[in-house]
Chains A and B, each alone.
Chain A
Amino acid sequence: MDKKTYLNIENLTCGYREGFMLKPFNLSLSKGSFGGIIGGNGSGKSTFFKGLTGELKITGGSVRLDGTELSSLTLRERAKRVALVPQFIEKSPITVEEYVLMGRMPHRRAFQFLETKEEQEILENSLELTGIMHLKRCRFTELSGGEQQMTAIACALAQKPQLILLDEPTSHLDITYQSRIMNLLQRLNEEEGLTVLMIIHDLNLAGEYCSHISLVKEGELIIQGDPEEVLRYKNIERAYDTVVVESRNPVSGKPAIFQVSERFSKRYDR
């Protein structure tokens, strides 16, 4: 197997019996990539994720992580390798500490009753990384949206996965939290080689941070590659049916996309 491809998805199809079906999906990422999946609402991004995590049964194709076919693993073995930060986080009145410790669940011995010293260290480390150490004893329900998202990410990090999947981790958050989350993931990605794959709506964040972007439309992967190749106005207009212009971030030089209001776009059409 090619050493470069760490996550290798071949002809993956999955979906709902009488409804949405994903067209064969091919994606390969090398170890330590920062992958982004973009596309309109209802384009199949979340369905693809559900196929990856095993929440939906895949109807065809294969998903290999570091050479291991994911569907051949038990849920527990899979959970040791892949962590998911879901789009909708259940609001439960448990403490942040308890929440994050749940991330150790797949690594526990059968009938392990008490937390070990190692687990406590991993807990502290995850809380430190996500900057929520001071919230350790707070109840999850009392936190702000950003703090809740950070807690969910800390839980996924405590899982010590090889691949972390995030479903729209920055939506509904202010730019402070957006940057905090993206910078944290970038740091872990660069320093620890954690492979990241996220569904993201903000095209400019995707352009700024991702090393690989897949654009999905109507259940089909229409283009993938470097942000430079994917974030072109032609691709974006095709996928989103919206008038945009492309530009660059003046500091980082990364591609950026701007929407254009109807007033201007009409003039531009002529």
Chain B
Amino acid sequence: MELQAVKALSIEAGKILFLVTLLIMASALSLCTGEISITPDRVLFYLKESGAMEYQVLHNIRIPRTILAIAIGGSLGLSGVILQGIYRNPLVEPYTLGISGGASLGITFVIVTGLQSAGELTLPLAGFTGALITVFLVYFLSYRREGVSTNRMLLTGVMISFISSSAVMFLMSVTAIENIHGIVFWTMGSLNESNPLMVYGILILSLTGLTLSYLFTAPLNALRLGESSARSLGINTKAVICILFFITSLLTGSSIAVAGVIGFVGLVIPHFARLISGTDYRSLLIISFLSGGVFMLLCDILARTLVFPNELPIGVITGIFGGVTFISLIWIKKRT
């Protein structure tokens, strides 16, 4: 029997190892492709060759971009899988819950009012605040004495999304033209961010999010049986859900602040992760994080190369690529 557990563990470890390998390969590809192409065997060489132009390209453009793609893809995948676990609804993602909408509103507000110039961290902070306010607004609006109704929450989330997007449009219509450009550019999403504070900040945040949520694997696993069953198994569901909301708003809000609204990752990645690893959160959290990173890297490479020398907004690629993958996954699942 012990052997059985070890066997199951090694299978999961194998899947994780496979994804890590994929992640490394995708990162290498991401470092190599671009205006100046660098062959994989030369990457390590140029990393130390401080005189070469490739050195500048790698250190100032491609490495930050690669790290950002992994961190944001991971954060969004993780948020999606946690939210779907809380709601036990496969359609939930940061976007449908209004978290993305709230973050967008916060960021637009900061751009329009010119508060942006106050400091580098203003944008991510505004995104996070917007996300957090939305989450708790949604939570308390659907709170009743008997507990929180998931359906109400979902409906409230969608409504808050609409309200936020209307408010964003309102702000855009009353503001100066140059601000509109900034907002539109930001909304379309881009991983073009070279400020090391932001890049490493997001990386640390996403890894912290993964570690923190990993402490909640047992409650997340119990929640698979429904909230009332989880309670009767001794889980303080209200507290757990509150903490997990906090973690997901932190992850989503900061991701959106840095890279704009990148849809679909939070929805598609959890489905994909469940397809390869089942429903056990002990591996599901890690696998969602890793596959989110791989997916984002691949989408970013496509965004950079498809219409070279121009660049597509990353949201366009994740939307199309993710949507098509999702439909084909459902199609395959139906046929087998």
Residues of A within 8 A of B (CB): 16-17, 53-56, 74-80, 82-84, 86, 88-90, 92-95, 98-99, 102-103, 105-106, 108, 111-115, 117, 120-121, 155, 159
Query: Shortest distance in angstroms between A22's beta carbon and chain B's nearest beta carbon?
Result: 14
B234 surroundings in chain A (CB, below 8 A): 74-80, 105-106
Across the interface, B231 reaches (CB within 8 A) one of A54, A99, A117, A121, namely A54
B327 surroundings in chain A (CB, below 8 A): none
**B 145-173 binary contact with A (CB < 8 Å = 1; else 0):** 11100000000000000000000000000
Tell me, yes or no, whether B229 is within 8 Å of chain A by CB. Answer: yes
Asked if A103 and B5 sit within 8 Å, CB to CB, the answer is: no
| Whole-angstrom CA separation of A84 from B5 in the bound complex | 27
Assuming A92-B88, A98-B279, A105-B218, is B9 touching A114 (CB within 8 A)? yes
Known: A75-B235, A88-B226, A102-B229. 7 other contacts (CB 8 A): A17-B145, A55-B147, A75-B234, A78-B234, A92-B226, A102-B224, A111-B215
| Whole-angstrom CA separation of A55 from B228 in the bound complex | 7
B41 surroundings in chain A (CB, below 8 A): none
Asked if A155 and B225 sit within 8 Å, CB to CB, the answer is: yes
16 contacts between A and B (CB under 8 A): A16-B146, A53-B232, A54-B231, A55-B146, A55-B147, A74-B234, A75-B231, A79-B232, A82-B232, A90-B224, A95-B278, A103-B233, A105-B235, A111-B215, A117-B1, A120-B4
| Whole-angstrom CA separation of A103 from B233 in the bound complex | 7
Query: Shortest distance in angstroms between A87's beta carbon and chain B's nearest beta carbon?
Result: 10
Query: Shortest distance in angstroms between A49's beta carbon and chain B's nearest beta carbon?
Result: 10
Asked if A86 and B231 sit within 8 Å, CB to CB, the answer is: no
A53 surroundings in chain B (CB, below 8 A): 228, 231-232
**B 211-237 binary contact with A (CB < 8 Å = 1; else 0):** 000010010011011101101111110
Smallest Cβ-Cβ distance to A78: which chain B residue: B234
A75 surroundings in chain B (CB, below 8 A): 231, 234-236
Give residues of chain B (4-18) contacting chain A, Cβ–Cβ below 8 Å: 4-5, 9
B218 surroundings in chain A (CB, below 8 A): 105, 108, 112
B88 surroundings in chain A (CB, below 8 A): 90, 92
Asked if A113 and B146 sit within 8 Å, CB to CB, the answer is: no
Query: Shortest distance in angstroms between A72's beta carbon and chain B's nearest beta carbon?
Result: 15
Smallest Cβ-Cβ distance to A80: which chain B residue: B234
Interface centre among A75, A88, A115 (most CB of B within 10 A): A75
Asked if B9 and A79 sit within 8 Å, CB to CB, the answer is: no
| Whole-angstrom CA separation of A95 from B231 in the bound complex | 20
**B 16-33 binary contact with A (CB < 8 Å = 1; else 0):** 000000000000000000
| Whole-angstrom CA separation of A44 from B336 in the bound complex | 45
B231 surroundings in chain A (CB, below 8 A): 53-55, 75
B178 surroundings in chain A (CB, below 8 A): none
Query: Shortest distance in angstroms between A140's beta carbon and chain B's nearest beta carbon?
Result: 9
Tell me, yes or no, whether B282 is within 8 Å of chain A by CB. Answer: yes
Assuming A53-B232, A75-B236, is B225 touching A92 (CB within 8 A)? yes
Query: Shortest distance in angstroms between A142's beta carbon and chain B's nearest beta carbon?
Result: 13
A88 surroundings in chain B (CB, below 8 A): 226
Asked if A89 and B233 sit within 8 Å, CB to CB, the answer is: no
| Whole-angstrom CA separation of A217 from B236 in the bound complex | 32
| Whole-angstrom CA separation of A94 from B88 in the bound complex | 12
**B 310-327 binary contact with A (CB < 8 Å = 1; else 0):** 000000000000000000
A113 surroundings in chain B (CB, below 8 A): 282
| Whole-angstrom CA separation of A93 from B5 in the bound complex | 21
Tell me, yes or no, whether B35 is within 8 Å of chain A by CB. Answer: no
| Whole-angstrom CA separation of A102 from B234 in the bound complex | 11
| Whole-angstrom CA separation of A138 from B276 in the bound complex | 17
Give residues of chain B (226-267) contacting chain A, Cβ–Cβ below 8 Å: 226, 228-229, 231-236
Assuming A106-B234, A121-B1, is B279 touching A94 (CB within 8 A)? yes
B145 surroundings in chain A (CB, below 8 A): 16-17
Smallest Cβ-Cβ distance to B90: which chain A residue: A93
